[in-house]
Structure 1
Amino acid sequence: MRTTNLFIVRGHVGQAPKAFNKAAKINVATDRIWTDAKGERHEETDWVTVTILNERVAEWAIANVAKGDAVYAECRVADGSYKGKDGETVYTTDVIASAFHKLDLGSRDDPAA
């Protein structure tokens, strides 16, 4: 059986992409909207940090993606760890992009977006 580790992120960039080494990290806001049992509407924003390891894509994102832009990323979730300052093990979960695109959806305040 083949397995799949696919995480799709579609949202708006919260700040300009940050370069590190030959990669980039981009914070993407995703909204969750739901109605509770009383019929009240709720909205909550989750922030996902997408890491782009492909050097050419990272360079393109740093040059062409800005705060507020709509983006789409196909990613995998990767767990890792490293030794902290005090020698303790710090565990991480990273969202690594395999595909990254800037979308033309209008502004974040556009109800049609």
Structure 2
Amino acid sequence: MRTTNLFILRGHVGQAPKAFGKTAKVNVATDRVWTDSKGERKEETDWVTISLLNEKVAQWALTHVVKGDAVYAECRIADGSYKDKAGETVYTTDVIANAFHKLDLGNRDDAGA
């Protein structure tokens, strides 16, 4: 059986993407809205840091994406680990973009890499 590791995210950029060598990272906000047991409307923002490991996509984002832009990303979740300065193992969960697009909400078309 084939398996799938796909995470789709649509949200707004919280700050300009940041370069990390030939890659980049971008923070994206998404909103969750629900009604609690008392019937009150609740809203909460989740922040997701997306790694843009494809050099072409990273450079495009660094040039064209700014704070507030609406974006769409198709990502995969990857677990990793590294040793900190004290030699302890630190475990990470990363969101890595397979596709990353800037959305034009005026006409619902998208553009990007």
Q: TM-score, normalised by structure 1?
A: 0.92
Secondary structure at 1:85 match in 2:
coil
1:21 Cα offset (Å): 1.2
Name the structure 1 match of 2:49.
49
After superposition, residues 1-113 of structure 1 pair within 5 angstroms as 1-105=1-105
Q: Distance in 1 between matches of 2:13 and 2:69?
A: 5
**Identity of paired residues, percent?**
81
| Corresponding pairs, count | 106
1:45 aligned partner, one-letter code: T
Structure with the largest fraction of strand: 2
Structure 1 consecutive aligned stretches of length 4 or more whose deviation exceeds 4 Å: none
Which stretches in structure 1 are left out of the alignment for 5+ residues? 107-113
Q: Distance in 2 between matches of 1:58 and 1:20?
A: 9
Name the structure 1 match of 2:110.
none
1:105 Cα offset (Å): 1.8
Q: Distance in 1 between matches of 2:66 and 2:14?
A: 8
1:33 aligned partner, one-letter code: V
1:80 aligned partner, one-letter code: G
Q: Distance in 2 between matches of 1:36 and 1:105?
A: 30
1:4 Cα offset (Å): 0.3
Which stretches in structure 2 are left out of the alignment for 5+ residues? 107-113
Report Cα offsets for 1:68-108 as digits up to 9, x if no partner.
Answer: 000000000000000100000011100000000000125xx
Name the structure 2 match of 1:109.
none
- Please say which of residues 31-40 and 74-83 is displaced more in the overlay: 31-40
Secondary structure at 2:9 match in 1:
strand
Over the residues paired in the alignment, what is the CA RMSD in angstroms? 0.7
